[in-house]
Amino acid sequence: MKNTQKGAQMLIEHQHPDNKSIMVAVLGAPNVGKSSLVNYLLGMDLSVVTNKAQTTRNKIHCVFTVDRTEIVLVDTPGLHKTNQELNKRLNEQAREGVDGADLNLLLVDLTRPVLGQLEDFKENMESDKFAKTWVLFTKCDRVENYKELPLSLVMDKMQELMPEIEKGIVISTKDGTNMHNLTGLLVDEAAPGPHYYGDGSVSNKNERFFATEYIREQAFELLNAELPYELAVVIDEYKDMKPKRGETETKVKSHISASILVNRPSQRAIVVGSKGGMIKEIGTRSRKKIEAMVGGQVHLNLHVKVSPKWFKNNNILEELGLPRAKNSNRVWRSR
Ligand SMILES: Nc1nc2c(ncn2[C@@H]2O[C@H](COP(=O)(O)OP(=O)(O)OP(=O)(O)O)[C@@H](O)[C@H]2O)c(=O)[nH]1
């Protein structure tokens, strides 16, 4: 997906001799605040955020620049113990996220026991080798007197468990604690070289991908309990209509038909809601977000389909960008 700056000028700019870049994997357990961090640094709501665990299902490159430094954040699904096929593939996405990263940001939630989160991370990552890692202690706005916590002792223990850990930073994306500081540290850490994304892209994923994400995000927000985890969104049709003569670019209409897949017929009834109220609300909310992304009007058609055990179906998982085998879709060059 691209930002609005002119392509040719940007291609020249990305070759500038003063350019620097860094690839940063954003890792941690479900719900620790990975996507919130990415969106904060990006300055836009690109990655989906909900209060439910396991919202992010794909590794997503999110790109921003500070002066001549390009920072590529790789948002990843939360790592967790699992035997289920879908969850195994989510873990695989996170493992691929560290592949080729110059730096890992390992997020641990200050409102939960922190050492346990690190132990789980090491176990679920199934690797003994990591790039340089910084621990980000998240959600400090929710911890009274966090400054009095014995974090240097915790850091010593963490470094014993994982020697790649170089430093720890307390942050909050709610009140901005240390976010400016973190950006500066990332810029300092970047190495001289051309930008990975010189064409103005803000992500390696396209608008079609984010359309499914925003529909799923709204469904996650609006539906209760366990249902969201048995739900997926696939696009059936995505058509950009050219503006008619006299119409401005901003009036461009996209026609999107998408299906919300559920596992059982009873779930279909919940997603449709009484008199279609729930699906209508999911549609209205996600359409607004997609319109903000594409900068034009969107006509969104949503259907709910029962697709039993879709989360074990290889074809559907592949369509959702979750291949079985280790299969990196990196677009950057190695240094
Ligand atoms: N109070 C507070 N809440 C936060 C902060 N960062 C994230 N949250 C909340 O924590 C919840 C999870 O945030 P996400 O950014 O979706 O977490 P994630 O790690 O990407 O989650 P997964 O996609 O499940 O792996 C959301 O309700 C956020 O609003 C923070 O700094 N302070």
Average pLDDT on 222-229 reads 76
Both 33 and 156 in a single domain?
yes
**CATH number of the domain residue 105 falls in:** 3.40.50.300
DSSP secondary structure letters along 158-202: HHHH-TTEEEEEE--TTT-TTHHHHHHHHHHH-EES--S--S-BS
Question: What pLDDT, in 10s, does the model give residues 246-260?
Answer: 666 656 689 999 999
pLDDT score for 7: 56
For 143, list phi and psi in degrees, rounded to 5. Answer: -115, 115
The protein residue whose alpha carbon is closest to atom 7 in ligand 1 is 33
Residues 6+ apart with CB under 8 A from 326: 92, 95, 96
Q: Are residues 73 and 187 in the same domain?
A: yes
Q: How many whole angstroms from 230 Cα to the centroid of ligand 1?
A: 21
Domain boundary among 162, 192, 222: 192
ipTM of this complex: 0.99
Cβ atoms of residues 256 and 235 within 8 Å: yes
The atom of ligand 1 lying closest to the CA of 57 is: 23
Whether 173 and 225 share a structural domain:
no
Tally of domains in the chain: 2
Does a structural domain hold residue 146?
Answer: yes
Which protein residues touch ligand 1 with a CB less than 6 Å away? 28, 30-36, 49-51, 53-56, 77-78, 138-139, 141-142, 172-174
Q: How far is the CA of 121 from the centre of ligand 1 (A)?
A: 17
281 and 138 in a single domain? The answer is: no
- 134 lies in a domain? yes
Can you tell me the mean pLDDT for 207-211? Answer: 92
| 151 and 261 inside one domain | no
Note whether residue 115 is domain-resident: yes
Cβ contacts of 180 within 8 Å, gap of 6 or more: none
Q: What 8-state DSSP symbol labels residue 128?
A: S
Atom of ligand 1 nearest to the CA of 52: 24
Residue where one domain finishes, among candidates 160, 192, 224: 192
288 vs 33, 222, 285, CA distance in Å? Answer: 24, 15, 5
What are the φ and ψ backbone dihedral angles of 14, each rounded to 5 degrees?
-75, -10
Q: What is the mean pLDDT of residues 160-182?
A: 96
Q: Where residue 270 sits, what CATH number does that domain have?
A: 3.30.300.20
pLDDT tens, residue by residue, 54-111 = 788 888 999 999 999 999 999 998 887 777 888 888 888 888 878 889 999 999 999 9
In a domain, 298, yes or no: yes
121 and 224 in a single domain? The answer is no
Q: Are residues 93 and 233 in the same domain?
A: no
Q: DSSP string of 73-116?
A: EEE-PPP----SHHHHHHHHHHHHHHTT-SEEEEEEETTS-HHH
Do 51 and 145 share a domain, yes or no? yes
Q: Which domain holds residue 302?
A: 207-319
